Chains A and B, each alone.
Chain A
């Protein structure tokens, strides 16, 4: 299908939220102060696993300025983003399962008093053995049980079989099997979790302001924990300082603020310290993976066998979803006719793992792209050639029934290879310098809600009148990714007006229409469908009025650049505002309402025609693709890896705001580079985090920022609204393997665990040297 000539979509426009943020005028939740507002603080466990014998807060209540104290008993209903596995509580009940778990919360007249009161709460613990390693956790499950209902210390385990991998492996010419281990990392968003609750006792209404990326799911969880109907709760998002998945669930800050506010009849604000962000983590799952890949004599992938043990930490959270995502990620972006995945998500006494940018993809992508790099060497061709051979094409249907309506993945590979000079450099640079290639993909939304429901995932209401102009209403969460801006661009495009003239009302469950939330890179696609639907209704009504004004049939009218005109006699035209004026005078405010429901795709083993457990996860209306090529210099004396250059090419369909896409890609590169080279949460033997600060947890700084060359490849998905796909999570996928492959090219060592620290590099260089001299000596 030919790409339409867009005027508002495809424009690099400044972000709607930009000016206020740059000027420091954006209001974040913690900036808000309400009359009579109290401050909440959470008392946290110094043990990673212990029975709570007794909590005595009488002394805290005696401290002048303390208004109330709550414990787990005040809101014991279990909550969780996935209802089937919900096992979290606002504050621990009877037992703590990780270091830093909340055991009580205080409301006081100021933060200082609240903090002082925490020291006066006396908690008696009976420490239990601490399990920090998933293997140990499974082995010692009969002796130490983290959750009563999980006798093996496993949240869930699954096996997915597609085709006949065993038979296929037997016929393969090249088979490689390796183990990979990924690290325990946190999102490190700038704004800590913060929530402000205001419960009005006479009306029984709760107003929440919260730093969340899922207002709807927060809304639901509040309803469960507080035992209040959803229509008595309103969730509003002030400006959000980043989330990256870490605000993709409710947090105890939300529940404690709400429970305390209801208890005292005053507004209560709870804002975390950075150490509390780490203590309540919800970052990426460390994965202990075994992967086996088989190629035929020509280098075509015939089978993949994937085994993954996910270290989930103390609670369920997004765990089961992340687990099945890791299983689904082996089916793309290459054609894999036979596959098996065995996955299990294990409880340990650590702050819980959850959703993090590129959820479920980053770990298997690391294994797969590194192994294909190695297998290209076995076959004797370049990794580029191997990946081009196996890359999926538009219309591809995986053996697991994943449907790829459109892809420019090969174009991504070609573009990055040409722009970086990969083929001229790979394998030919001096020792210590290297270049590495990796590809990746990600979903553009999901096929299902997390709870059983088949309602539309997004609803957009567009309101037009002479006073407000055009206002787009949707309870979507702009967490810094820029959805408000792209929604305005898409609405303007469809209505034939300018982006600058569209207002967006989002992030509020009362003034905004329904939206599931900002996760799974779903919003541009989902809101795009709903916007088109809503705008069509408005255009139809306005055309009927305009037709009479210009004297032609309504179905002959086009709307562009703020004018209605006859497509046959363009001189017959009238300004858009005049039509709105006439319509409003005659009828009043005009609204259009549009919905998005994703296709209900199923995970099926197509060779047998059988449904596969957990394989509905991973389906998406469309997928984004990308390739990254990293060039590194390894300091052979210190082991330090310096990144010289990154060349990226991505298929995000039609970019709605190219400048924003560039920002997402550059941000993704820095984000994933942190996990590859620097970041890791470290625990001591008792499970206490020893680097719970941004001082000791090392995210890359501006000094580590490499030269980045990004290309948005020409792409348009004809099945997608405005041809769009995701661009915020796909680009984190190739980073870690591309760096790892570049390090291999530089020093001949393939790293299979993260992060690749200077110390590990130096040790590997020495081992290699020792091996070499041994070989040459014998």
Chain B
């Protein structure tokens, strides 16, 4: 359970990081929270020659918000900060919920938002709500920076678009639409410390009438190598007056769209069924919240 020998860097600025990653290339790994990286190193799945600790780089940390434009979350922002942020809770509730379910309290105090996406585990908690909320990531290299939607950034199980010399610096979350609400939930054996068998985030916006679905994002986790957008299911509800029958159809469509595998946590069949259950529950919750019926954001 010992780490291989490596050289450790603790740069103070983004520029220094870019210089290091440009120079060291694939032999280096970024150390953010370390909650995935160090375990993989202990288990000898990774043996990087260099670790670049980005925790001293202030510009990569924190949550900021500008009304009308949305939020910016630095890649090295701790999950616990997101979990406890009033702003995230108020504006991006699904992300707040997912952050609260990631690992244990100890893990959340160390882990970062950027790490959760860069590690690109299919069972990760935060990518589905981020994709549902329309998050974009900013990828930077010495050559410059680019923005792309998170769903285009994550390519597969532990695969992202990050090329040599590139780092993820921040997440851009658009201002939530009026009369919209987002919700997240998961299926697992226990109510804490769980690796999700299935998870899902829903972000639903209503027209002025408070009944017609204006836009909808449904994103499933742990049922495909990447956060999977339930395109068919969304199509069933968008532009329609929200009702039980359509909701059920959408849930069934999501279940068909899911592409799960069987593993130690659950069978593919069970996962597929749970997609429908989560879809039904989350759609109803999000609709209720967006239309102002019954429960509010809590």
Contact = CB atoms under 8 A, between A and B. Distances in A.
Contact of B264 (A112, A637, A696, A703): A696
Contacts of B277: 637-638
Per DSSP, chain A at the interface is loop
Which residue of B267, B270, B277 has the most chain A CB atoms within 10 A of its CB atom? B270
A396 interface: no
A682 interface: yes
A678 B265 CA distance: 11
B274 A638 contact: yes
Per DSSP, chain B at the interface is loop
Contacts of B45: none
A768 to B, nearest CB: 16
Contacts of B267: 759
Contacts of B191: 701, 703-704
Nearest to A691: B264
B264 A690 contact: yes
Interface in A490-515: none
A111 interface: yes
Contact of B190 (A115, A116, A637, A701): A701
A678 B270 CA distance: 16
Interface in B80-98: none
A678 B192 contact: no
A273 interface: yes
A751 to B, nearest CB: 16
A698 B190 contact: yes
Interface string A3-39: 0000000000000000000000000000000000000
Interface string B258-291: 0000001011001001100100000000000000
B142 interface: no
Contacts of A273: 1
A704 B188 CA distance: 12
A758 B197 CA distance: 11
Interface string A681-702: 0100000001100011010111
Contacts of A690: 264
Nearest to B281: A637
Interface string A458-501: 00000000000000000000000000000000000000000000
A638 B274 CA distance: 7
A758 B274 CA distance: 11
Contacts of A700: 190
Given A115-B2, A759-B270, A762-B270, A638 B187 contact: yes
Interface string A628-660: 000000000110100000000000000000000
A119 to B, nearest CB: 9
A414 interface: no
A691 B274 CA distance: 23
Nearest to A755: B189
B46 interface: no
Contacts of B190: 678, 698, 700-701, 703-704
A757 interface: yes
Contacts of B273: 762
B1 A115 contact: yes
Contacts of B274: 638
A279 B187 CA distance: 29
B263 to A, nearest CB: 9
Given A111-B2, A696-B264, A701 B192 contact: yes
A65 B2 CA distance: 16
Given A691-B264, A696-B264, A759-B267, A702 B192 contact: yes
B193 interface: yes
B2 A112 contact: yes
Nearest to B3: A112
Given A638-B274, A701-B193, A704-B190, A759 B266 contact: yes
B261 to A, nearest CB: 15
A762 B270 CA distance: 9
Nearest to B267: A759
Contacts of A637: 277
Which residue of A273, A677, A691, A698 has the most chain B CB atoms within 10 A of its CB atom? A698
A762 to B, nearest CB: 7
B201 to A, nearest CB: 18
A111 B1 CA distance: 9
Contacts of A678: 189-190
A480 B112 CA distance: 37
Given A111-B2, A273-B1, A638-B277, A703 B192 contact: yes
A115 B266 CA distance: 34
Given A682-B264, A696-B195, A702-B192, 20 more contacts: A111-B2, A112-B2, A115-B1, A115-B2, A640-B187, A677-B189, A678-B189, A678-B190, A690-B264, A695-B195, A698-B189, A698-B190, A701-B190, A703-B190, A703-B192, A704-B190, A758-B189, A759-B267, A759-B270, A762-B273
Closest 4 CB pairs of A and B: A703-B191, A703-B192, A701-B192, A112-B2
Interface of A: 111-112, 115-116, 273, 637-638, 640, 677-678, 682, 690-691, 695-696, 698, 700-704, 757-759, 762
8 contacts: A115-B1, A640-B187, A690-B264, A696-B195, A700-B190, A701-B191, A703-B192, A759-B270
